[in-house]
Structure 1
Amino acid sequence: MNWSAQAIRDAARAGDYGRVVKLARIAAGLSQGQLGETCGMSQSAVSRLEGRGASSYETAQLSRVSSRLRIPPHLVGLADHAAAIVARGDANGDDVERRHFLGGVAAVAAAPALSMAATGQAHAARTGQAATLRVATTAFRRLDGTTPSRQLVDTVLSHLKLTQSIAQTAEGEDERTTLAAVGSEVASLAGWLHWDMGDHGSARTWYGASVKTARRAANPLLVAYQLGSLAQFEAHSGNAAQGLSLARSARRQLGPNMPAIADAWLSGVEALAHATAGDADSADQALRTATRRAKNIERESAPPWPWVFSFTEAKVGATRVSCGARLGLPRWIADEQDSAAAVMSSGHEKQRALLQLDMASGHLAAGRLDGAFTMAAQALETGLRYKSGRIVERARAVRRSYSGPTPPKVVRDFDDRLYGVFL
């Protein structure tokens, strides 16, 4: 399906998500009855959804259908819906609402097992469960930006346990491979959350599990994504050689004709690994490749699963900022101020704090102490608010890089805030 087709774009812009579903269903060669059967819905329910026009939609129902058809979430308004819920919880300071949302997503994940078990439609139930579990995983990934990992991790691990229990009772090979792919995504998210908490041992374990499960799913694109995720973790953790080795393994999974987004993202991961190793020339070459390939992303159809977040030239620029911080090259950081500003305007507060700390390193390398530690202090406050071990440790690394004489007041104030922090 060409997700960039004019008809799809027009329907999505108009908010006629039912028409997006209809076009995708026809392209997939499914009748309304067949689509409904695999999603635990009646034919008439699918018909009503497709004919709803530019009006409100039931999110859980739309999520099941769009996941079954592999429709990118932004084309049916799902990403905006999840972001709105999170933003509303943040604006009101309402942790209760966020907990209700987390519980609601878990309930949606479990609902097909309860509602369809009585019908005897076992195959439809299995397929519907896999699709809904994937929707829940995507929702958790989006919540990560505005939710402390310590609040989210238990729910994600319960979600993984549910996915594993369903997979254990799957009857057919197709069902098992589909559920293995879902399990791989959840394990990768568990690795990301433990990384954010500063638990590198558990993070490495979960990332390794996500790679193994992806191999069972027999999906080269998913295997490459999980290998790349582990490579990114190793590069950030200071293990440059391991990061490069894993990135090369990811490339071998995809071959020379990989999607542009995969090539651009992996080139960024390789740049970080080269920067960690102190190799500025190789890092620069990888970043130039990432920029060139990022320009081709919009010319392709929608990014392939499992890339649920966009990857743009601005993100390549932000990666150059991170590389510049590791290499001690303030010029790289200064040259990408506009790109960094674009990424920092996004809703992912924890990622924004990490980028702030990289920019602070640039200010520090250029001798601008006030700017460096003012920015680092802002990032540290975000890390403390979300209890992010990764942010706090990065803040400590910025502080260690300053070794001047008697520290000025801005540094002493930073030390006072950092001293005695235990998460």
Structure 2
Amino acid sequence: MQRLPARFYESAALRTALGSYDFGAVFLAVRHQVGLSQTELGELLDMAQSRVSAVERGERGIGHVKLVARIATRLGIPAQLLGFAAGTTGSLANKEVSWVDRRDFLVLLTAATLGSNLHPELARLGNHLPGQAVSSTRTHIGAADIDAIEAITDGFRKWDLAHGGGLCRSAALTQLHQVQALQNASCPEDLRPRLLIATAELASMAGWLAYDVEDHNAARKLWTYALDSARRGEDHPRSADLTVSVLLDMAHQSLHLGRPDEALKVAQLAQATAGNRKHPAAMSTEAYIFAVLGWSRATRGEIEPMRLALGQSEERYEEANSAPVPSWARCWRGVVTDAEITAQQGYAMYLLSLTQPDYAPQAVTMLSQAVGSYHNAHARSRAVNLPPLAAAQFRAGDVDNAISTSYEAISAITSLSSTRCYARLRDLGTATARFARRSDVADLRADIHAALPVVA
């Protein structure tokens, strides 16, 4: 994907178009230069594809000052070319606010996925990593260095699955700063895409570790950096797959933060990205897209769309089982086990049961099967699914088993360094309220409360 030249809007044709608010000509010029579809441009501008098409055909105009200012901000159009005083169109990021609270988060995310040149501040924000920058005296990077980066990332991934992100989060961030310091070192051109993808993979892992300890602001910064690095490494066949995986992690976070509408939009962006890149996403990654779409639909209480998404997820996982794993893809079966696939489906049923209690028994069946199938190497995954299982058992009226599962959850979670698991335990405490008059449930509630301060 190309970038907009520095003085792109200074051409006579575009000056004339902007002076008369002929945004059809502007949209066509931007799409032609950068290589965007009408749908992708619409996602960046928060406009439907049909409206982008109508504007380009001259059937609809754009005159409302707020919409004009938004387009100028997101496409980096100089304010004076639209008749504003310089700087008056402003920027959606004038203030350094939390990335969790940014109103333009979805815009930033879309820009990072499609091309950072389309948001005037993304390059600065995306490269501002949390933590302290480091310098490097290295002048050359070779294949062995990239092998080391990939091995380090894989080590962090395995540790996270077994123990949670708390104990290795700082180490991962330190490693990422060291790798970032190497970006200006000389590297054979045939290795540069692989270096960018290895860097993006490490940043993605560091973002997940930050998310697991509920440092959501740092997680979003790290994931945005990963998206930008993966896009710059678009010649590598792993680029699209990694981009989609990062977007799905961000959708996962949005659900955790109680933002199902945001999660759905991010998952849909992931789905659009998977089908619109130079290289395809892995079949297992496509399956996970539909799992996250299912979670988002379930949280919104949309039963039939949830079922459709989960069915498509199951189909893709079956296809992934029989298809050869691409040479560039990590061994996804080491991460997405049968237990994890069942857990994804069970968690969707659990989310639906929050508004539709009749689905609690299905959640219990699936989550019980998943929890019983996790091995020690996936202890964190088992722990994070125990509270939803217990909560579903409470909603299904199976109080005795719910109490037993709850104590399993307390034991499993307090042995890990995953703050996110404690959030699930807190939700479980809320689910017990219906039965609080029972003495054994009252004791359980007291034990849950006593366990929670461990994260303080």
Q: TM-score, normalised by structure 1?
A: 0.65
Change (3 A) 1:229 1:148: closer
Q: What is the alpha-carbon distance in structure 1 between the residues aligned to residue 327 and residue 288 of structure 2?
A: 13
TM superposition shift of 1:174: 4.4
Q: Contact between 1:167 and 1:176, CA under 8 Å: does it hold in 2?
A: no
Shift of 1:276: 1.9
Q: 2:289 is matched with which residue: 259, 266, 269?
A: 266
AA aligned opposite 2:351: R
Shift of 1:349: 1.0
Cα distance, 1:131 vs. partner? 1.7
Q: CA deviation at 1:364?
A: 0.7
- Over 3 Å counting, the alpha-carbon distance change for 1:345 and 1:171 in structure 2 is closer
| Contact 2:371/2:385 (<8 A) preserved | no
Matched, 1:322 2:347: yes
The aligned counterpart of 1:280 is 303
Q: 1:348 is matched with which residue: 366, 378, 381? A: 378
Question: Of the candidates 186, 192, 212, which is equivalent to residue 196 of structure 1?
Answer: 212
- Equivalent-residue separation in structure 2 for 1:335 and 1:406 (angstroms): 24
Deviation at 1:142, TM superposition (A): 0.5
For the 8 Å contact 1:187–1:210, the answer to whether it is kept is yes
Q: Is contact 1:274-1:280 (8 Å) kept?
A: yes
* Distance in 2 (alpha carbons) for counterparts of 1:182 and 1:258: 16
Are residues 1:229 and 2:245 paired? no
Change beyond 3 A, Cα 1:145–1:410:
farther
AA paired with 2:259?
N
How far residue 365 of structure 1 moved from its aligned partner, in angstroms, is 0.8
Structure 1, residues 123-181: CA drift from partner, whole Å, max 9, x if none?
6x522201221111111101112335222112111211121112232345544432221
Q: 1:308 deviation in Å?
A: 4.1
Query: Which segment is superposed worse, 313-322 or 186-195?
Result: 313-322
2-structure distance, mates of 1:250, 1:228: 7
User: Pick from 262, 265, 268: which aligns with 1:242?
Assistant: 262
Q: Does 1:212 align with 2:235?
A: no
What residue number does 2:159 align with? 143
The answer as to whether partners of 1:379 and 1:391 remain within 8 angstroms in 2 is no
> Quick check: 1:289 aligned with 2:312?
yes
Q: Which amino acid aligns with 2:152?
A: A
Distance in 1 separating the partners of 2:203 and 2:436: 46
Aligned 8 A contact 2:429 2:448 in 1: no
Contact 1:297-1:303 within 8 A present in 2 as well = no
Q: Is the 8 A contact 1:356 1:379 kept in 2?
A: yes
Please name the residue that 1:395 is paired with. Answer: 425
Q: CA deviation at 1:301?
A: 1.2
Output the CA distance in 1 between the equivalents of 2:326 and 2:363.
Answer: 28
CA–CA distance in structure 2, aligned partners of residues 323 and 195 of structure 1: 20
Percent identity reads 22
Residue 134 of structure 1 is matched in structure 2 by 150
Distance (whole Å) between structure 2 residues aligned to residue 410 and residue 199 of structure 1: 34
Q: 1:313 offset after TM fit, Å?
A: 5.0
**In the superposition, relative to structure 1, how do residues 262 and 397 fare at CA in structure 2: closer, same or farther (>3 Å)?**
same
Give the total of aligned pairs: 304
Amino acid corresponding to residue 429 of structure 2 in structure 1? R
Contact 2:163 2:380 in 1 (8 A): no
Deviation larger for 183-192 or 334-343: 334-343
Q: Distance in 1 between matches of 2:326 and 2:159?
A: 20
Q: Compared with structure 1, are the counterparts of its residues 255 and 404 closer, same or farther at alpha carbon in structure 2 (3 Å cutoff)?
A: closer
Q: Deviations over 1:230-282 (max 9, x none)?
A: 22222333222222222222222231865321221111111111122222221
Paired letter, 1:326: L
**Among candidates 413, 418, 422, match of residue 383 of structure 1:** 413
2:203 aligned residue (160, 170, 187)? 187
1:362 aligns with 2:387: no
Change in Cα spacing, 1:380 to 1:201, as seen in structure 2 (3 Å) is farther
Structure number with the higher helix fraction is 1
Gaps of 5+ in 2: 1-135, 354-358
In the alignment, the residues of structure 2 paired with residue 178 and residue 259 of structure 1 have an alpha-carbon distance, to the nearest angstrom, of 17
